[in-house]
Amino acid sequence: MTLSTPSNASRPAAQVAGRGRPPRSAWLERQARWVFPAPAAITLLVLVVFPILYTVWMSFHSWTGQIQTPPQAIGLANYTQALLHDTRMWHAIWRMLIFGGLGIAFQTILGVGMALLFHREFPGKSVVRTIAILPMVTTPVVIALTWTLILNPTQGAIPYIFFKLGLPQVLWLADPKIVLLTLILVDTWEWTPLIMWITLAGLSALPNEPLEAARIDGASSWQIFWQIILPLLRPAIMVAVLLRGIDAIKTFDIIYAMTQGGPGNASETMNIYVFQQAFNYQQIGYASALLVIFFIIVLLLALVLIRLRRAPSWQP
Amino acid sequence: MATMTRRRVLRRSLLTLAFAIMLLPTLAFFYWLVLISLRSDLINSMYPPEFLPHGLTLDNYRTVIAQNSLIKDGFNSLVIAVGATVFGLLIGAPAAFSIARWRQQRFALGILVARIIPAVSYLIPWFVLFSRAHLIDTYTALILTNLVVCLPLITWILISFFEDLPPELIESARLDGCTVYGAFLRIALPLARPGMIAASIISLIFAWNNFLFPVVLSGSRTSTLPLAAFKLLNFASFSWGQLAATAVLITLPIVIISLVVQRYLVSGLTVGSIK
């Protein structure tokens, strides 16, 4: 709202003459390209850049979160401890990559499939599409809570259906070998619609000519899909996959609300592990070092994303 | 001829089946949640579980609404979501305009980085700083932190809307003696209204759903709905019916908004990924 003041003030003056504006408004006018983004830039500087620098600084210190005892500088000790001795961290990184990789694989296959299905005209199209959007806007804690009830071993719906169908009983959230897969499936339930919607947008932007030409040449719909539609959709799908991938490895809500990393550490991803170190064990310095390692990994993935985002424009 | 129609019928039924399979998980999820919320705990704890609606009652809703903490938490969630969205629009709209008009790609990338970095990364410094400033458990802390999620979202959505405006519109306004600021307020903003709506809705939903920040930064005064649901699930000896009723009440506003403004929601969620 602060921006409305200069513009209102300068308007009458500016109307009098495009030739001779008052100096103050002329200065503001020349600086507009800095004035417009300034509030956002300052906000991000204070809320993002400064905390990151502070985290990096903390990562070279030992601090247990007691306000009374100041942090002690310990050099690279946190990093050597984490990278060389902390198997729990490596397991957490590994789980994070599995969670992201497997989740994306499921979501892409299902999401692209749903998009191809929902792209055609059919009665009730908008209702069906709206239902399909609901999982990704539903509060993650509610998703976690509802799946916990559905998967409950004694009164849950799914264990009972498995029992009735004669399938083996699975302890979805209590079996350390299964729990990560369960969480991946919940994540897939939540986010497949995003891939679907992005693919749908890509589909509706497809040029018609190659499809027509292929049809005239007598290509089967299977060939059209694999050899024309999919290659044309690839850029849209790639970007969707990478955006989703970066969000997936940062998943916190459903994991923390459903298992808090358990049983044991069986579903502890990097995000959860850092959170535990910082807020349950109060190892602020050590957690900061873990964070730096974490966001280096995420930024590396982001660089790949940015390169791929640019890629289409390099092509003639 | 007969084989033709049989093939078509087969195709039809296969398609219907595919639709059913695709939508089943979503429908079953909401069906089960609403069903549990409408039944007494006696029925909810039966074995085998009852899949059909019998003996429905609104008692769970009456109970959870009567506990005034839920109303308070809902109010907190609303204040924080609206606060973060309003600030996000005030700050994000000029930034998006600027990025679109002067092609400030580096600034756009900086904002993208803010969206990419895991939110856990900010939490430790925020926690330390907000503790020192005695801002733990205040709206200020929660609105500011949610802004970190909402601002990049809003900016990123609005950039593409401003980029779609023909630059001649702004130029002709300036030839008429309008300043850039006037052109932004009188021409660009009104024309980007669909974008503003899309951005606000998505920002509201993300802030409403946020769970990570209140876990660390809120206390008894500013507890939000997702936090309340989490505590019910993990710490209280809970009643399934009441838990589900709480969950329905949290989700209902979002579902209603999504149904009403589906078009905007989709354009906002998929923007940035297509361009």
pLDDT confidence of residue B181: 86
CA distance B60 to chain A (A): 16
Q: How many CA atoms lie within 13 A of B101 on its CB side?
A: 21
Give the span between the Cα atoms of A211 and B10, in whole angstroms. 25
pLDDT at B237: 63
Which residues 21-80 of A are in CB contact (within 8 Å) with B? 25, 28-29, 32-33, 35-37, 39-41, 43-44, 47-48, 50-52, 54-55, 58, 67
Closest C-alpha among A261, A264, A257, A268 to residue A147: A257
Whether the CB-CB separation of A153 and A142 falls below 8 Å is answered with: no
Q: What is the mean pLDDT of residues A57-68?
A: 81
Confirm or reject contact between A5 and chain B (CB < 8 A).
no
Residue of A nearest to B25 (CA): A189
Question: For the domain B68-270, what is the CATH code?
Answer: 1.10.3720.10
Question: Is residue A26 in a domain?
Answer: no
**What separation in angstroms does the CA of B228 have from each of A41, B60, B64, B72?**
34, 16, 11, 10
- pLDDT at residue A15 is higher than 70: no
How many domains is chain A built from? Answer: 1
Q: Based on the number of CB atoms within 10 Å of its own CB, is A133 exposed (0-12), middle (13-18) or buried (19 or more)?
A: buried
Query: Which residues in B lie closer than 8 A to residue A250 (C-beta atoms)?
Result: 118-120
In B, residues 185-224, which contact A (CB 8 Å cutoff)? Answer: 185, 205, 208-209, 211-212, 215-216
Q: Which of A288, A294, A220, A233 is nearest to A51 (CA)?
A: A288
Residue A9 has pLDDT above 60, yes or no: no
Question: B251, B265, B208: which is closest to A129 by C-alpha?
Answer: B265
pLDDT of residue A262: 79
Select from B120, B129, B217, B258 the residue whose CB has the most chain A CBs within 10 Å, as the one to mutate to test that interface.
B120
Instruction: State the CB neighbour count (10 A cutoff) for residue B33.
Output: 24
Is the N-terminal amide bond of B48 cis, ω within 30° of 0? Answer: yes
Q: Are strands A72-73 and A61-62 parallel, antiparallel or unpaired?
A: antiparallel
Residue closest to B145 by CA, chosen among B162, B125, B161: B125
Q: Which of residues 206-235 of A touch B (CB under 8 A)?
A: none
Residues 6+ apart with CB under 8 A from B223: B69, B72, B73, B76, B214
DSSP string, B122-146: HHHHHHHHHHHTT-TTSHHHHHHHH
Identify the weakest region by mean pLDDT among A2-11, A233-242, B177-186, B205-214. Answer: A2-11
Mean pLDDT of A297-316: 63
Residue A148 placed within a domain:
no
Tokens representing B204 are 């509201």
For B83, the token pair is: 């606060």
CATH of the domain at A279: 1.10.3720.10
Domain-embedded: residue A224: yes
- On whether the CB atoms of residues A164 and A235 are closer than 8 A, the answer is no
Strands (DSSP E) found in A149-274: none
Distant-in-sequence, close-in-space partners of A294: CB < 8 Å, separation ≥ 6 = A270, A271, A274, B118, B120, B121
Distance CA B151, CA B206 (A): 11
Residue whose structure tokens are 């055609």: A120
Task: Give the Cα separation of A227 and A219 in Å (integer).
Answer: 10
Residue A10 forms part of a structural domain: no
Say if residue B214 is preceded by a cis peptide, omega within 30 of 0.
no
Best CA proximity match to A180, nearest among A273, A290, A258:
A258
Cross-chain Cβ contact B117/A130 below 8 Å: no
- Residue A309's identity, in one-letter code, is R
Is pLDDT at A314 greater than 70 in this prediction?
no
Q: Which amino acid is at A222?
A: W
Give the lowest-confidence range in A231-240, A292-301, B241-250: A231-240
Q: What is the pLDDT of residue A67?
A: 62
Grouping H, G, I as helix, E, B as strand and the rest as coil, residue A73 is: strand
| Cα–Cα distance measured from residue A10 to residue B179, given in angstroms and rounded to the nearest whole number | 7
The dihedral over CA atoms of B190, B192, B197, B201, expressed in degrees to the nearest 10, equals -140
Per-residue pLDDT of chain B (275 residues; tens, 9 = 90+): 556 678 888 877 887 787 888 889 999 999 999 999 999 888 888 778 888 888 888 988 998 888 878 889 999 999 999 999 999 999 999 999 999 888 888 888 888 888 888 888 888 888 888 888 899 999 999 999 999 989 998 998 898 888 888 888 878 887 777 888 888 888 888 888 888 998 999 899 999 999 999 999 988 889 999 998 888 887 666 788 889 999 999 999 988 888 888 777 777 776 655 44
Q: Which amino acid is at B274?
A: I
Compute chain A's Rg from CA coordinates: 26
> What is residue B30's predicted lDDT score, i.e. its pLDDT?
94
Kindly state whether A141 is in contact with chain B, defined as any CB-CB distance less than 8 angstroms: yes
Print the domain residue range for A217. 79-140+169-314
Q: With CB atoms and an 8 Å threshold, state whether A3 touches B94.
A: yes
**Is pLDDT at A86 greater than 80 in this prediction?**
yes
A6 to chain B: closest CA residue: B181
For chain A, the average pLDDT equals 83
- CB-CB contact of A153 with A171 (8 Å): yes
Among the partner residues B51, B126, B179, nearest to A11 by beta-carbon distance: B179
The answer as to whether A102 is a domain residue is: yes
Selected residues 23-42 of chain B with any CB under 8 Å from a CB in chain A: 23, 25-30, 32-33, 36
Residue A72 three-state SS: strand
pLDDT in tens, A87-131: 999 999 999 999 999 999 999 999 998 888 888 777 777 778 788
Q: What are phi and psi of B70, to 5 degrees?
A: -65, -45
* Chain B touched by A274 (CB under 8 Å): yes
CA distances from B157 to A51, A213, B168, B272 (A): 25, 36, 22, 7
